[in-house]
Amino acid sequence: MTVTIEVKAQAGKLQELDQTLQALLPTMRNEKGCRGCRVSRDVEDGEVFMLSSDWESKGCFEGYVHSDNGRVLLGAIKLLGESARFRMSSDARWKEIGAVTFRGPNDGQ
């Protein structure tokens, strides 16, 4: 399963967003079920980054999102991104990044 996250950098945060996404790739690659990940920049809009990751299953991706490393990624996107969206496969509809929950199974207890 391929997950693509598209992030448009906030004004003045382009380099910081790029460096942060690149720095987070090694931790993502080490997550259970991650088969690979990469960051690219949109050719038409240089302020937009695409983070693509391949996972063994939806459950593996969800496990990553709920991990400390996943929360760091989502926090960085929230802090440095003007807008963000994701999709779970190349033919799926885009969803706002807010649809990805920041709560884990032990939160709020």
pLDDT tens, position by position, 20-29: 999 999 999 9
The tens digit of pLDDT for each residue in 69-101 reads: 999 999 999 999 999 999 988 778 888 876 554
Mean pLDDT score, 28-36: 96
**Taking Cα atoms as reference points, which of 65, 71, 68 lies closest to residue 53?**
65
75 assigned to some structural domain = yes
> Residue 85 pairs with which residues in a beta bridge?
6, 96
pLDDT of residue 96: 81
53 assigned to some structural domain = yes
52 assigned to some structural domain = yes
- pTM score, two decimals? 0.84
Cβ-contact 4, 54 below 8 angstroms: no
Domain containing 83 equals 2-87
107 assigned to some structural domain = no
Q: How many domains does the chain have?
A: 1
pLDDT of residue 4: 94
57 assigned to some structural domain = yes
- Which structure tokens are listed for 2? 């391929």
- pLDDT surpassing 50 at residue 61: yes
CATH at residue 48: 3.30.70.100
93 assigned to some structural domain = no
The span from the CA of 54 to the CA of 5, in Å, is 12
106 assigned to some structural domain = no
CA atoms lying within 13 Å on the CB side of residue 108: 4
The span from the CA of 10 to the CA of 54, in Å, is 26
69 assigned to some structural domain = yes
**Taking Cα atoms as reference points, which of 59, 51, 72 lies closest to residue 32?**
59
pLDDT of residue 90: 75
